[in-house]
């Protein structure tokens, strides 16, 4: 009998501040319907000057450590596309902040928004090789586009931490996976830029092509039929993209795309992304968190996952929700992470957006803004300095 391996626990974190799309619309004169209806976004998380992917990741992971301890964690994989260093893995800072043992493997993975799914699948493989161990997978990103650019309205920031092991309490990850890679330039960020470049029309097309490609491979590998899934978690650069992608998949399979069918499959997966914004690698797992936190009872139900990362790599896989999962959810904590954010006006958001760490190698403290458990206290000699509250 094959091992049951999957997501044993899941926790999310997001930024200190929130910018409502009404404020963005007032600034640039956009009809609010373009945001609320057109792309399906209401607000976006904004990080404080003393927050980054490390503080978000540690904040998301700390509750998992508090509940389960560190004894079985032998590997930490942090997936991000907003990395802070070209050499040192951001996860090493997290490893220190949350108190993991020195006998731990730590790596960082990158492939646009797909990276966390690669991390999850690698974790499943490691656990299959050594069932005694658990793997801590963290997706952490701060989405940043140029001010007054088309992508500005889709920004966001969040981290999702997942503990992967045998006999999971939440979701069992199934074989097989459907895979798809294509060399396209729909979204990218060269090393010399700190904001991403995006070709919106190209990206939508590349995403939909990836939906077809992953599903074709998934079925050829002997996967489930579309009708077997109770819900679908899509990567959400904006929540309406999930709806567009699912209609495309239904069309591709020759099935009806009536609104009630699509809403039933996706409606409960968009709640967190709609108010947080695009969190890149964390997006599809925010969708899972929202689904588990809201659905009446998913016990024994199959959930489809479509993970897409521009450039592009995509994967479709299935998970089955296990009995008793609702006893292990962090619904209240997730709601608190979202509702605790302080609303900012456009001027304050713009100042935060334009904030940069000095690059002169001197000693520089960061403004004390976050009320979270970890903060980026400053930089000295080009070294980032983190503190625990």
Q: Catalytic amino acids?
A: 81, 113, 235
> Are the C-beta atoms of 134 and 165 separated by less than 8 Å?
yes
Instruction: Tell me how far apart the alpha carbons of residues 23 and 346 are, in angstroms, rounded to a whole number.
Output: 6
Instruction: Tell me how far apart the alpha carbons of residues 352 and 187 are, in angstroms, rounded to a whole number.
Output: 23
Q: Which residue, 249, 238, 234, is CA-closest to 288?
A: 234
Structure tokens at 53: 């992917």
Give residue for tokens 């956009």: 30
> Are the C-beta atoms of 323 and 299 separated by less than 8 Å?
yes
- C-alpha distances (whole Å) from 285 to each of 138, 282, 300, 308 are 10, 5, 19, 12
> Are the C-beta atoms of 155 and 300 separated by less than 8 Å?
no
Q: Which residue, 159, 173, 183, 171, is CA-closest to 281?
A: 159
Other C-beta atoms lying within 10 Å of the C-beta of residue 129: 8
């Amino acid at each position: 009998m094959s091992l049951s391996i999957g997501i044993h626990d899941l926790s999310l974190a997001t930024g200190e501040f929130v910018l409502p799309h009404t404020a963005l619309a007032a600034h640039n004169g956009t009809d609010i319907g373009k945001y609320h209806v057109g792309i399906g976004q209401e607000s976006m998380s904004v990080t404080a000057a003393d927050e980054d992917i490390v503080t978000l990741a540690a904040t998301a992971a700390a509750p998992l450590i508090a509940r389960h301890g560190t004894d079985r964690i032998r590997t930490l994989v942090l997936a991000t596309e907003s990395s802070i260093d070209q050499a040192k893995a951001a996860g090493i800072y997290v490893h220190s902040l949350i108190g993991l043992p020195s006998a731990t493997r730590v790596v960082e993975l990158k492939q646009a928004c797909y990276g966390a799914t690669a991390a999850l699948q690698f974790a499943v493989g490691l656990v299959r090789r050594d069932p005694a161990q658990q793997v801590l997978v963290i997706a952490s990103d701060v989405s940043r586009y140029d001010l007054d650019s088309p992508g500005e309205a889709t920004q966001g920031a969040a981290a999702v931490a997942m503990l992967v092991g045998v006999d999971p309490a939440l979701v069992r990850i199934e074989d097989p996976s459907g895979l798809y890679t294509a060399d396209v330039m729909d979204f990218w960020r060269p090393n010399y830029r700190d904001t991403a470049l995006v070709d919106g029309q190209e990206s939508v097309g590349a995403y939909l092509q990836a939906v077809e490609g992953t599903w074709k491979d998934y079925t050829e590998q002997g996967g489930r039929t579309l009708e077997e899934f109770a819900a679908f978690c899509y990567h959400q650069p904006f929540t309406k993209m999930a709806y567009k992608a699912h209609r495309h998949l239904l069309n591709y399979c020759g099935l009806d795309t009536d609104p009630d069918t699509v809403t039933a499959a996706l409606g409960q997966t968009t709640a967190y992304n709609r108010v947080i914004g695009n969190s890149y690698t964390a997006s599809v797992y925010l969708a899972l968190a929202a689904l588990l936190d809201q659905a009446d009872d998913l016990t024994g139900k199959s959930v489809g996952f479509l993970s897409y990362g521009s450039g592009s790599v995509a994967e479709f896989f299935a998970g089955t929700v296990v009995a008793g999962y609702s006893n292990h959810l962090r619904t209240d904590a997730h709601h608190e992470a979202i509702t605790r954010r302080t609303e900012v006006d456009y001027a304050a958001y713009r100042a935060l957006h334009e904030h940069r760490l000095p690059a002169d190698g001197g000693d520089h403290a960061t403004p004390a803004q976050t009320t979270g458990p970890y903060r980026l206290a400053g930089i000295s000699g080009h070294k980032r300095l983190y503190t625990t509250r």
